[in-house]
Amino acid sequence: MSKHIAVLPGDGIGPEIMEQAVKVLNALGQDFEMEWADVGGVAYANHGHPLPQSTLDLAMQSDAVLFGAVGDFRYDTLERALRPEQAILGLRKHMGLFANLRPAKCFKELTGASTLRPEVVSGLDLLIVRELTGDIYFGTPRGRRTAVDGNFPGAPEAFDTMRYSVPEVERIARVAFEAARKRNKKVTSVDKANVLETSQLWRDTVTEVARDYPDVTLEHMYIDNAAMQLVRAPKALDVVLTGNIFGDILSDEASMLTGSIGMLASASLNDKKQGLFEPSHGSAPDIAGKNIANPIATILSAAMMLRYSLDMNDEADRIEDAVARVLEQGLRTGDIMSEGCQRVSCSEMGDAVRAALR
């Protein structure tokens, strides 16, 4: 049966990077049924909502969603519910995509592209497992009101709620421990248990789940220390398990270890193996339409889609090998450019990866 993929390019550089990923997928010689739909600012412009019902229905019915990026400064002044970012948050929530996997791998050719010293990042290969449907991102109540207490009673204030339940922490912890079993059998759980109640519950729950995985080493780390260790000695980390907001921040930080955020793919999975696959970077409106964006994160996200949602491991390997080969050939988009390499455009990078498929 052909696999049904919802293709949602979104805003900014979304369409141009998506075109490259689709190009590579189409060259695999497999039977994919791809259906395209608007999402983000472009969906707001065309349908009055960043996540139109038709796009959501398409995503829910697909085997997997390939997502570009959303965000457009033209819509930043809209009420929050209509801003482009709500599209990705809505998809995560409606599809129940609680497990976000963000691998940060430093290709050997790119050790010089990182702002960190080559010996700190060479050979780096870590996996951030970020909880994606809870925490302060989705916690209620939230809103604005007049303060009745706090430092300035009577002043206008805003508030959000950080929340985690035990089953929410358990299921994401299991994803991390299972992943660790296939890697170096070490999980670093990141929280702020010295200050936050949610983090203490997180830590207690992860410790409980760890009993089922005696072969995996568990360590706990505070978020501030983790942010430091990630740039001090990132290779000491393997699987990093954390909540939604800490994971958001740490994954951007981790991307810099790989040379560029343009290299970082991600998978967001639910309990039915259905997934949404997107580059970890944003819509970069400043370089949109110039054909200079790095499509590799999107191409590698397509590879993750094949691996995690479509049971096509061999094809996923083929794409990942092709990306490695293109880097070996010395082809670079601007963000990862270094001396002696050949600078290519977004579409040329897509063509090169397609040509390098074996």
Query: Which residues are marked as active site?
Result: 137, 192, 224, 248, 252
Q: How far is the CB of 30 from ligand IPM (least distance, A)?
A: 28
- Residue 82 lies near ligand IPM (rule: CB under 6 A): no
**Which one of 18, 24, 59, 88 is in contact with ligand IPM (CB under 6 A)?**
88
- Residue 131 lies near Mg ion (rule: CB under 5 A): no
Is residue 282 within 8 A of residue 69, CB to CB? The reply is yes
Q: Which amino acid is at 259?
A: G
Q: How far is the CB of 309 from ligand IPM (least distance, A)?
A: 18
Closest of 250, 310, 275 to residue 102, by C-alpha: 250
List the single partner that 89 binds among ligand IPM, Mg ion, none, CB under 5 to 8 Å by kind: ligand IPM
Estimate the share of the chain in helix, then strand, then coil, as percent rounded to the nearest 5.
45, 20, 35
- Residue 261 lies near ligand IPM (rule: CB under 6 A): no
Find the part of the chain contacting ligand IPM (CB under 6 A) among 17-25, 85-93, 154-162, 348-356: 85-93
For ligand IPM, the closer of residues 68 and 234 by Cβ is 68
**Which one of 131, 168, 248, 320 is in contact with Mg ion (CB under 5 A)?**
248
Is residue 173 within 8 A of residue 206, CB to CB? The reply is yes
Q: Could you tell me the two tokens for 132? A: 């994606």
Alpha-carbon span 207 to 204, nearest angstrom: 5
Q: What is the DSSP letter of 60?
A: H
* H or E element at residue 189: strand 186-191
For Mg ion, the closer of residues 254 and 346 by Cβ is 254
Contacts with 19 (C-beta within 8 Å, 6 or more apart), sequence order:
9, 295, 347, 350
Q: What is the DSSP letter of 106?
A: -
- The partner residues of 66 in beta bridges, in order of sequence, read 7, 277
Q: How far is the CB of 132 from Mg ion (least distance, A)?
A: 11
Q: Which amino acid is at 175?
A: V
- Residue 125 lies near ligand IPM (rule: CB under 6 A): no
Find the part of the chain contacting Mg ion (CB under 5 A) among 117-125, 225-233, 242-250, 300-308: 242-250
**Which one of 248, 315, 335, 351 is in contact with ligand IPM (CB under 6 A)?**
248
| Binding stretches for ligand IPM (CB under 6 A) | 85, 88-89, 248
